[in-house]
Amino acid sequence: MGFLALGLTLCIRAALAQQPFIVVASTTSTEQSGLFAHLLPTFEKETGINVRVVAVGTGQALDIGRRGDADVVFVHDKPAELKWLEEGSGVKRYPVMYNDFVLIGPDADPAHVKGGKDIAVAFKTIADVKAPFVSRADKSGTHSAELRLWKDAGVDIDKAKGPWYRETGQGMGPALNTAAALSAYILADRGTWLNFRNRADLGIVVEGDKRLFNQYGVMLVNPARHPQVKKELGQKFIDWLVSPHGQQVIASYRINGEQLFFPNAGTDS
């Protein structure tokens, strides 16, 4: 059977060998926001490089990079990314863009947080009132941000959690589905929210707080550790993303006229 698999590999490789490609491990929120569908065709047209995106949670994306199964990693969890670099899995981190998280909640708004500008206050209130809250609980960038916000709000979530706090272990989309079904609060990235169709009675209740800032970084997988990594092609992709042209393409992505991602390459983010 190994022969058959090899044969198939060679056939497919031959078929696709016309075009060079890289594998980018990224997050579900990046893909589901529609950014890649907007970005990649332009990159491919200009460089001839096909980008294959494996979209999973940040934790899994970093693990894929760690194992050498991808060439580039593109996620949004700075602490985790720095740790990943420290352990020698990657070369260098380049900030690319940011967007923000928004607190989503039901029309009924049982915690009365709607319209507020302070996310920590909102989180504290929700915990005190024990209003239903859906957490991704999947080691994603969004999940890490959510945990940081509980800390900022002075809530020890491990102690405070109860039946009101639903840990789904799912990606952003499925978690939003769950929140819609339960009429619960949920922290989401704006991109996925704007692209999300199954809203039921949910809407944005808190936004704009600086702590809702969500930074994206891109890193090349360490070719010293994984020799098969396509370091030139991967670096080309990274260079394109942080180039003024690439940054412009990122900024031009809109949903219903609204800009989703704000390029900030070259800054210390």
Partner 1 sequence: MDTISQSFALAVSMVAHLEPRLTQIVALSLAVSLSSTLCSALVGLPLGAAVAIARFPGRGPLIVALTAAMGLPPVVVGLVVYLLLSRAGPLGQFGLLFTPPAMVIAQTLLIVPIVAALTRQIVEDAWLEYREQLRSLDASWLQSTLTLLWDTRFSLLTVLLAAFGRAAAEVGAVIIVGGNIDGVTRVMTTAIALETSKGDLPLALALGVMLMSLVLAVNIGAHLTRQWARARFG
Which of the stretches 88-96, 102-110, 149-157, 193-201 binds partner 1 when contact is defined by CB under 8 A? 193-201
Distance, CA of 194 to CA of 202 (rounded, Å): 12
Q: Does 23 bind partner 1 (CB under 8 A)?
A: yes
Distance, CA of 41 to CA of 33 (rounded, Å): 15
Binding mask 144-173 for partner 1 (x = CB under 8 A): --------------------------xxxx
Contacts (Cβ under 8 Å, ≥6 apart) of 123? 149, 150, 152, 153, 155
Q: Does 45 bind partner 1 (CB under 8 A)?
A: no
Residue 153 has φ and ψ, to the nearest 5°, of: -80, -5
Q: Does 226 bind partner 1 (CB under 8 A)?
A: yes
Identify whether the C-beta of residue 216 lies closer than 8 Å to the C-beta of residue 100: no
- Answer for which of 92, 117, 151, 199 binds partner 1 (CB under 8 A) is 199
Of 52 and 245, the one with the shorter C-beta distance to partner 1 is: 52
Of 50, 82, 85, the closest CA to residue 221 belongs to 85
- Answer for which of 174, 207, 223, 251 binds partner 1 (CB under 8 A) is 174
Half-sphere exposure for 97 (CA within 13 Å, toward CB): 26
Residues 57-86 within binding reach of partner 1 (CB under 8 A): 66-69
Q: Does 224 bind partner 1 (CB under 8 A)?
A: no
- Answer for which of 39, 80, 180, 241 binds partner 1 (CB under 8 A) is 180
Q: Does 28 bind partner 1 (CB under 8 A)?
A: yes
To the nearest whole angstrom, how small is the minimum distance from the Cβ of residue 18 to partner 1?
14
Q: Does 41 bind partner 1 (CB under 8 A)?
A: no
Structure tokens at 177: 């589905």
Distance, CA of 190 to CA of 208 (rounded, Å): 11
Of 9 and 243, the one with the shorter C-beta distance to partner 1 is: 9
Neighbouring C-beta atoms of residue 8, cutoff 10 Å: 10
Distance, CA of 39 to CA of 28 (rounded, Å): 15
Q: Does 177 bind partner 1 (CB under 8 A)?
A: yes
Structure tokens at 35: 């950014």
Q: Does 195 bind partner 1 (CB under 8 A)?
A: yes
To the nearest whole angstrom, how small is the minimum distance from the Cβ of residue 129 to partner 1?
27
DSSP H or E stretch at residue 25? strand 21-27
Residues that bind partner 1 (rule: CB under 8 A) add up to a total of: 36
Residues that bind partner 1 (CB under 8 A): 1, 4-6, 8-9, 12, 23, 28, 32, 36-37, 52-56, 66-69, 170-174, 176-177, 180, 195-199, 226, 228
